[in-house]
Amino acid sequence: MNRRSTLRAAITLTAAAALTLSACGSDSADDEGAGAATGTRKAASPTASQSAAVAVDRPKIELPADLTYTFAWPKTGDQEKDAVLSDSEQSIKAVDLAIANQDALDKPYLFYYEGEAAAGTEQFIQNYVKNKARTTGAYRFYDPNVAVAGKGTASLSYCEDQGKAYVMYLKGKQVKKTPVTARSYVAYQTSLKKNEKGVWVIQEITSQQGSAKCQP
């Protein structure tokens, strides 16, 4: 499920894997469903890397209990790099929150995405809203490579394991499970910029599904 793909403007943006419905196992882009995102919600616990983030009033990310994340990207010891990792982690979760809320203009994800990345992510989320579906399961992110340049810019590449992540149609909470294949592993490349609030926001994001470097 490539949920943050190359420029989600085409439903592959880059954001999640994107994760297009077809990649996650839907029968078609017109699969029917009804209902609203439900389920016990839990606050996303701050990670160690968040201690490096600038003290800004960031949005609270509360996700359905059936969504879990593993971020295997420990602190680097560099304040700016750790802030990039922290904000990137929250940006990923914020997209799934928008999908759970069935709101393509959900404020938390717009806090972390701007320009081309925001436009593509909006279309990506809208695809779930149209099909009355959301994400479920477990996501694992690993092998981060972060670089901070001058003038408040940075880049971050990382891998995503979507082998235990699926699409759930809200009507009847029907989960579409698919087998793990090479396409379950996705490589991402993001470009970020620190805004006036001190938040590292995503400007551009691309992805490669089935990336050899992300294979186990």
Nearest C-alpha neighbor of 61 from the set 35, 24, 86:
86
CA–CA dist 84, 78 (Å, integer) = 10
pLDDT above 80 (res 13): no
In tens, the pLDDT along 141-177 reads 999 999 999 889 999 999 999 999 999 999 999 999 8
In which band, very low, low, confident or very high, does the pLDDT at 3 lie, cut at 50, 70 and 90? low
pLDDT above 50 (res 49): no
CA–CA dist 16, 3 (Å, integer) = 3
Q: How far, CA to CA in Å, does 94 sit from each of 73, 162, 194?
A: 18, 17, 18
**41-63 as b/e: b if 16+ CB within 10 A:** eeebeebebbebbeeeebeebeb
CA–CA dist 59, 163 (Å, integer) = 28
Give the chain's domains with CATH numbers: 3-214 (3.10.450.50)
CA–CA dist 123, 209 (Å, integer) = 19
pLDDT above 90 (res 213): yes
Nearest C-alpha neighbor of 68 from the set 104, 105, 31, 42:
42
- Other Cβ atoms less than 10 A from the Cβ of 150: the count is 5
- Which residue do the tokens 């606050």 mark? 43
In tens, the pLDDT along 84-102 reads 999 999 999 999 999 999 9
